[in-house]
Chains A and B, each alone.
Chain A
Amino acid sequence: MADRSPATRRSLAAVLVAVFAFLYIPIATLVALSFNEGGLPTAWTGFSVKWYGALMANRDILSAALNTLIVAVISTAIAAVLGTLLALGIETRRRKGRALEALVFAPMIIPDIVLAIALLSFFSLLKVPMGLHTIILSHVVFNLAFVSAVVRARLKSFDWSVTEASADLGASALTTFRRVTLPLILPAVIAGALLAFTLSVDEFIIAFFTAGAGRASTTLPMQIFAMIRFGVTPEINALATLVMIVSVTALTLSQRLNKGVIAP
């Protein structure tokens, strides 16, 4: 767009600078404060990683982190399998009804609070004791929807003639899946799983409602929520920084994998 005047170009650049400042200053402040020796936002007293050390000594945080890991790993594993099968099923279907599309799209758009209270009512009316297992069951709902969305996007550009060729050469359906289809869609499956993992690690509302009473099934976001309510502490800054690093790494990786599968 070469016809823009210098003044227009300058104001467009100014918009970008302002928006990026708005987006990044809060996060950057948080990260910077997590390395502040004194721990207070009032004065910079020197670089230190002591607040990260304090985290490692905090039993509540460690047990919450472990719970989060358990929930995220198990729910992601289940969702990766179910979501991939779902994507394969939908994309090989002759006609995709609107009801089916709505059903697999719904978990991504239902407000978390509604799904959370729905699951809470469901589990308590069935008298299912709640804990980590109910969080896992619940997280699979939205995780499988996201995995299937990523895999479906890949399957849209999938060259089905390679599975034909495999079948013509005498491979069984299972062999064709294992040796041809799966290797080709694997990057998308992993990308979807990484996305699901991050969503699960970060998810607060549904976990909060389906964790049941007691501290035993507190996840990291629940722990962070409880800590934030007491105010600003250097430990939360450090914890927040770590959680951000994990999410951003997993999602950047997921993006990369997804780009690597652009159809020939």
Chain B
Amino acid sequence: MRLALLSALNAARSDRRAAVLVTDLDGGAARLVTAETLAGDPLEEAIRTALRTGRSGVVEGTRAFLTVQVPPARMVIIGAVHISQALVPMARMIGYDPVIVDPRTAFATPERFPGVTLLAQWPDEALPGLKVDRYTAFIALTHDPKIDDPALMHAFEKNCFYIGALGSRKTHARRIERLGANGAPPEALARIKAPVGLAIGAITPAEIAVSILAEVTQAWRQGIA
């Protein structure tokens, strides 16, 4: 592999651009395929599928190996709450880079979240600068409609692969009504995971964090395609 190719692959990763490295296992020249150069590539169909599934592998019937690189998933957490304190270190371990947004300055303190990117701003101010995208897990935990609702509208717009919101079924039913009245399409509302997290009987903040991360992992590994 030429060094220039490795550099281009690494640059695509750090810019959060999807890219596929095509390696000839018989030792021929390798090439990097991106969304811009995909059309007309001899392996266009296979590469398109690989980009959708995020799976590396040998293209059937060929000696071409695809190293598929989709952007590393991000995590935006709305709410500097107790659950977030458990969620952040666990999310980091899995490979997410978590950011917390909470305008309530009593919650969003560096003492409660040492070393964490913490934005003590309203979602409308904080979110546009975060470049939320398809490869972002979005979790609303404040339980306060004034904060969670506008944040969720932003997550719908950016089509995040995971959108979860804390709250009982009853709370969630009221949320659906409010967001619907606010113009959120039914298919977006149906995507919200609420009550947030897999149903594993979690009680403590750390257990709830585990259930949320399990659900996020499931969405990432099984759903993003």
Q: Does chain A bind chain B?
A: no
Q: Which residues of B contact A (CB under 8 A)?
A: none
